[in-house]
Amino acid sequence: MLKISVVTVCYNAADSIEQTMLSVLNQSYPYIEYIVIDGGSTDGTVDIIKKYADRLAYWVSEPDKGIYDAMNKGIAAATGSYINFMNSGDSFYDNRVVEAIFKDGCDSADIIYGK
């Protein structure tokens, strides 16, 4: 099965990061590599990330040059066949979304999108 890299970039997102993280971490698809890139938050975001650190493939909290720099850091850390960006505050429709997309393999698609 394909490994999927999910990247969340955030900065001072204590009010929304946990919802996003749980949406990713509770997916039924077993081959998800979850990466969180925090821009050096000072509002408690890092404490929330640390609660789930053992379930993350990689995370870092350090100043960056903005959202695109943070996204590039996530891409550099990713090793999956596909990358999905889930910004803080975003969530999957339900816990089976990733499995529904990838359980039968999508290895011939260059891009996958939904509405």
Average pLDDT over the chain, rounded to whole? 94
> The domain spanning residue 43 has which CATH number?
3.90.550.10
What's the domain range around 97? 7-101
CB contact burial 74-108 (16+ within 10 A = b; e otherwise): beebbebbbbbebbbeeebeeeebbbebbeeeeee
Q: Please tell me the distance from the alpha carbon of residue 3 to that of residue 92, in angstroms, as a whole number.
A: 17
User: Which residues sit opposite 9 in a β-bridge?
Assistant: 37
Tell me whether residue 112 is in a domain: no
Q: Tens of pLDDT along 56-112?
A: 999 999 999 999 999 999 999 999 999 999 999 999 999 999 998 887 667 677 887
Domain count, the chain: 1
